[in-house]
Amino acid sequence: MTTEEDTLSAKQKSNKKRHKQISRPAHQPVLQRYMDNPHWGDRPPEPGPQTFIVVSRNTNTISTNHNLIQWRAMAQALSDIQANIACIQEPNVNWNPTLTTKIQRIFQQKFGKAKIATSSSLQTTLLDYQPGGTTTISLGPSTSRLLTTYDDPQGLGRWSAIALRGKSNKTLIFLSAYHVCNQAVTIGSQTAYTQQHTQLIQHGYDNPDPREIFVDDIIKQIHQWQQQHYEILICMDANKANPPMAATALRNFNMHGC
Tell me the pLDDT tens digit for each residue of 31-78: 555 555 555 567 777 888 889 999 999 999 999 999 999 999 999 999
pLDDT band at 13 (very low <50, low <70, confident <90, very high): low
Task: Give DSSP secondary structure letters for 96-139.
Answer: -HHHHHHHHHHHHHHHS-EEEEEE-BSS--SSSB-SS-EEEEEE
Q: What angle do CA 87, 239, 233 make, to 5 degrees?
A: 35
Tell me the pLDDT tens digit for each residue of 95-147: 999 999 999 999 999 999 999 999 999 987 888 999 999 999 999 999 999 99
Provide φ and ψ at 91, rounded to 5°: -70, -15
Domains of the chain: 52-252 (3.60.10)
Residues comprising the chain, all counted: 258
Among 205-209, 233-237, 248-252, the range scoring the smallest mean pLDDT is 248-252
Quote the CA–CA distance of 160 and 3 in Å, as a whole number. Answer: 82
Quote the CA–CA distance of 133 and 138 in Å, as a whole number. Answer: 17
Tell me the pLDDT tens digit for each residue of 161-212: 999 999 999 999 999 999 999 888 877 788 999 999 999 999 999 999 999 9
This prediction has a pTM of 0.81
